[in-house]
């Protein structure tokens, strides 16, 4: 490989510094206040970076950016030889301060190119390093590229007027039956939480074998049935098992009795399978995924298929580095919240409850029962706890009354949704006021 200097433009860096030295205080505050235009790490030349950092420090301290005072500080730190002459040359280098934005764009562009080059070099190092699964290698490579892409997209400012308009339009659409929120398929649940809202984390927590995967699959089928693409990460079950469950729920048949099905039941299963096959559901059943891998694949689904809902089964199986497990789960929880905000879609996350629920006479679960982390409780916008309505019923009861307690709702009321779990069909249905199961 040919050795090359990393991408850079010393002239553009001089242009930025010269324009800053010529700019009015108000312009400096706007240009340097939040790092949106250019940052210290964007400068290739270390002397240019040091001068920029000192200019920014003067602005943040509310002091005027004066060449003499600035030269005195730089001389004391010995970062620039002949600082006064250096600063004067920068001022003479630009015709006026009007081209600040143009020069800053060039500096930022070359900085991004350097970041991209580093990402490629690190990926190449991993390729020639110790052997690792190709899938893991590709996920890590994509995560590096996504990190560079994130630097490119600066936050967009919106006025309060813009936000008010967006909210009013959303309310008006909801009043006309065209709500932007995704219906779960359970009207009682939608009445409490208002549907699945963009940028929100919805946690469904339960002890094992309580039906949290079945409930999530019911929501997935309902959302996809409206023609809305859904992405499902299944870290516990393989894709074929999930598909079998969905066919059973759709047909209301038990696949374990398939050999004894009558011709009408076989036809019903075939019809249900055909209906399910047309739904825009995308399944990734990789057994171990990191938050970065989930993020990369979710972005790919959104870009290629327009996915508008992500479901993760389940949180405690998401992999992390070798840190303390509680810290790792905290980081995973924060990462999933960032994913929801970044892609502006709802993320439904299944989670395990700890054993205290079973030890204490099958009491109703509390937020503190979320296994391994209080950060989940903090990051979640909605938390629903599934538990048996009648603790005396056997765990394998074919028809099981289940309560879904909404014990956290950041933007609305709390409440309990009464459900029935049909274990043979791995399907939930709502309980009507008269105590009957609704179809």
Has 236 been annotated as catalytic?
yes
Per the listing, tokens 């301290």 go with: 61
* 402 closest CA partner among 383, 415, 389, 385: 389
Cα(128)–Cα(137) distance, rounded to whole angstroms? 11
Per the listing, tokens 């290698």 go with: 137
429 and 422 in contact (C-beta within 8 Å)? yes
Cα(238)–Cα(1) distance, rounded to whole angstroms? 43
DSSP state of 177: T
Cα(384)–Cα(407) distance, rounded to whole angstroms? 6
Cα(68)–Cα(79) distance, rounded to whole angstroms? 15
107 and 7 in contact (C-beta within 8 Å)? no
Looking at 236, 244, 327, 424, which residue is catalytic? 236
404 and 417 in contact (C-beta within 8 Å)? yes
DSSP state of 6: P
Per the listing, tokens 């002890």 go with: 207
CA distances, 126 to each of 5, 16, 116, 141, 186 (Å) = 22, 36, 15, 9, 47
Give DSSP secondary structure letters for 390-435. STTS-TT-SEEEEEEEEEEETTS--EEEEEEEEGGGTEEEEBPTTS
- From the number of C-beta atoms within 10 Å of its C-beta (0-12, 13-18, 19+), residue 168 rates as exposed
Cα(107)–Cα(115) distance, rounded to whole angstroms? 12
User: What are residue 267's DSSP bridge partners?
Assistant: none
246 by DSSP, 3-state: which?
helix
Active site residues: 236
């Amino acid at each position: 490989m040919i050795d090359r200097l990393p991408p850079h433009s010393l002239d553009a860096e001089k242009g930025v510094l010269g324009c800053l030295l010529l700019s009015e205080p108000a312009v400096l505050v706007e240009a340097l206040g939040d790092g949106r235009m250019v940052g210290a790490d964007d400068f290739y030349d270390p002397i240019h970076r040091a001068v920029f950092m000192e200019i920014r420090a003067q602005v943040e301290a509310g002091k005027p950016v004066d060449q003499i005072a600035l030269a005195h500080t730089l001389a004391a730190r010995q970062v620039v030889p002949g600082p006064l002459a250096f600063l004067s040359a920068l001022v003479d280098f630009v015709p006026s301060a009007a081209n600040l934005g143009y020069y800053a764009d060039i500096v930022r562009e070359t900085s991004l190119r350097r970041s991209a080059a580093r990402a490629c070099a690190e990926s190449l190092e991993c390729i020639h390093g110790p052997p690792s699964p190709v899938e893991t290698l590709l996920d890590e490579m994509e995560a590096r590229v996504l990190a560079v892409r994130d630097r490119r997209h600066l936050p967009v400012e919106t006025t309060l007027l813009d936000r008010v308009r967006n909210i009013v339009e959303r309310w008006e659409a909801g009043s006309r039956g065209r709500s932007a929120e995704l219906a779960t398929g359970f009207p009682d649940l939608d009445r409490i939480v208002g549907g699945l809202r963009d940028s929100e984390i919805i946690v469904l927590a339960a002890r094992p074998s309580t039906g949290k995967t079945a409930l999530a699959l019911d929501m997935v089928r309902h959302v996809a049935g409206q023609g809305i693409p859904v992405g499902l990460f299944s870290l516990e079950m393989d894709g074929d098992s999930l598909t079998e469950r969905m066919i059973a729920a759709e047909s209301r048949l038990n696949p374990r009795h398939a050999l004894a099905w009558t011709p009408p039941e076989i036809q019903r299963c075939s019809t249900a399978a055909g209906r399910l096959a047309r739904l825009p559901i995308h399944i990734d059943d990789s057994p171990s995924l990191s938050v970065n891998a989930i993020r990369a694949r979710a972005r790919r689904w959104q870009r290629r298929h327009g996915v508008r809902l992500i479901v993760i089964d389940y949180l405690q199986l998401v992999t992390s580095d070798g840190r303390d497990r509680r810290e790792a789960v905290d980081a995973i929880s924060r990462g999933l919240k960032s994913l929801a905000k970044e892609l502006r879609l709802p993320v439904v996350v299944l989670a395990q409850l700890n054993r205290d629920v079973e030890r204490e006479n099958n009491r109703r679960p509390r937020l503190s029962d979320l296994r391994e982390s209080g950060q989940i409780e903090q990051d979640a916008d909605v938390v629903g706890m599934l538990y048996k309505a009648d603790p005396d019923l056997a765990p394998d009861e074919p028809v099981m009354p289940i309560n879904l307690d909404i014990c956290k709702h950041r933007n609305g009321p709390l409440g309990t949704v009464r459900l029935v779990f049909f274990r043979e069909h791995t399907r939930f249905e709502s309980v009507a006021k008269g105590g009957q199961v609704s179809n």
